[in-house]
Structure 1
């Protein structure tokens, strides 16, 4: 009985020793894991993602520019009465919010010409062309063209945005400049950038003006000799016109010769002086 009790005590002691070892190993493992967690949490945070360069940001912003289309046109219309047709043109211009930029009137013996440079909003350009084609007179010629300047506009806009960024950087450098030499150099850079920015902005304004307002060169033509009602011309009319033209040419020649009378008077004088000089030479 005593031996049995001693065996049980020994078994219990051995079991307790194994349990303590397992517990110590578990605690050690927990400390290792905890230490790793602490080291991970105390490590430096990941660096922020690299920021885009100013030019890249500018490019993405400029890519949203809408299409830039410049429309131009030339029309020549034959009319029966220049003044009446000019009144019709003014009415059409009012309806389409257009205006006359330049006006040139020429009156010759054969015809009358009224040349107009018209600026019209881009959206009303086609309607204006149709109105002139239908209600003014007989269209002799018409030429319409479109030019896509989106790429050119985008390129100038990107360069302009970048120049403005550089300008701000130079201005910041100017505030921190420590000597006169650096200040003068930075001011020269700033002056050059400001001039380039003014040129670029002017070019963008010019393109915007051409895009927003289309240009139409309109010419109103009236023939004086023959009206549009007598478009069929026979041999007799042509023969009479030829005789008239020949007589007018002859009269023009006679008048041209008469206009040279001072030279004709000078010829006898030159002959007299030449003979007199020749006679003296012989003596």
Structure 2
């Protein structure tokens, strides 16, 4: 019996050892997976390095709130780049005085020249005196046709008495106004956002007043830009057509008889003007007899007293 008991004990011990080894072998992959997950979790949840922390502090004042955000700053930089590429702005102006033989004929020639150069008359003024006839025109012409217009007037209309052409470069002014306008529009949007979130009546009134001032300044700036664009796109020419009426004896083609008749006519016109001037004084002529009558009455009364 003892001989049978010992082998059975040895068999039980050997089977128990094998089972524990199998359990350890089966449990080791799970343990390694748990360790890997823990390591991965540690790596994910690990705090960033001090150099990698990026935090944006909230604005501490209203002035900081009014500063453009990152998107506005990007838009401003893009706008600045566009402003850097503004084409050169040059305003051309001119003044011309031309002596012509006949005003009507010269006026027709001017109309043909304007039509060919896509120009138009902005203002027209005519004067007719005893000495001369003047037709003053303010002409607007596209910038590209300005030189051609000047040459056309110089060649075929009449004798040029005077000519003055000037150019004014306004690129710097146009750029400065454009930059200020862009900045004012950005701040206007910021103030409108502040108005939506205003909590007190005092803040609302103050913000509305600032918005009104900004809108007025924006309107002025936009008007200035439109004015510059108009003067750049269309040049201005002040043209004066002049005809002299007075004829000298050396240049006149009229004979002595014609000039004598003109002199008699002018003398008669002068006499009629003098006579009409005297007649226009008739109220004063009526007062003179009254003054004479009163003077005689006063003189006769004085003599009777003596």
Do they fold alike, i.e. is TM over 0.5? yes
Mark the structure with the bigger radius of gyration: 2
Identify the match of residue 190 of structure 2 among 169, 175, 181: 169
Q: Distance in 2 between matches of 1:267 and 1:158?
A: 78
Whether contact under 8 Å (1:102, 1:116) holds in the other structure is yes
**Gaps (5+ residues) in structure 1?**
1-38
Aligned residue-pair number: 240
Structure 1 residue 62 corresponds to structure 2 residue 69: no
Instruction: Specify the SS of the correspondent of 1:44.
Output: helix
TM-aligned CA deviation for residue 109 of structure 1: 3.1
Whether contact under 8 Å (1:55, 1:162) holds in the other structure is no
**Gaps (5+ residues) in structure 2?**
1-45, 56-69
TM-aligned CA deviation for residue 249 of structure 1: 5.2
Please list, as runs of the form range in 1=range in 2, the aligned pairs for 1:111-260 lying within 5 A after superposition: 111-226=132-247, 232=251, 252-260=273-281
Identify the match of residue 43 of structure 1 among 47, 50, 58: 50
Cα 1:219–1:42 shift into 2, 3 Å: same
Q: Distance in 1 between matches of 2:81 and 2:54?
A: 24
TM-aligned CA deviation for residue 259 of structure 1: 2.9
Cα 1:42–1:110 shift into 2, 3 Å: same
Q: Distance in 1 between matches of 2:193 and 2:294?
A: 88
Whether contact under 8 Å (1:54, 1:162) holds in the other structure is no
Q: Bigger CA drift: 176-185 or 253-262?
A: 253-262
TM-score, L = length of structure 1: 0.71
TM-aligned CA deviation for residue 54 of structure 1: 8.5
Q: Distance in 2 between matches of 1:194 and 1:231?
A: 68
Could you say what the CA RMSD is over the residues aligned between the two structures, in angstroms?
3.7
TM-aligned CA deviation for residue 251 of structure 1: 5.5
Structure 1 residue 74 corresponds to structure 2 residue 128: no
Structure 1 residue 268 corresponds to structure 2 residue 289: yes
Q: Distance in 2 between matches of 1:214 and 1:164?
A: 30
Whether contact under 8 Å (1:103, 1:116) holds in the other structure is yes
The equivalent residue for 1:99 is: 120
TM-score, L = length of structure 2: 0.66
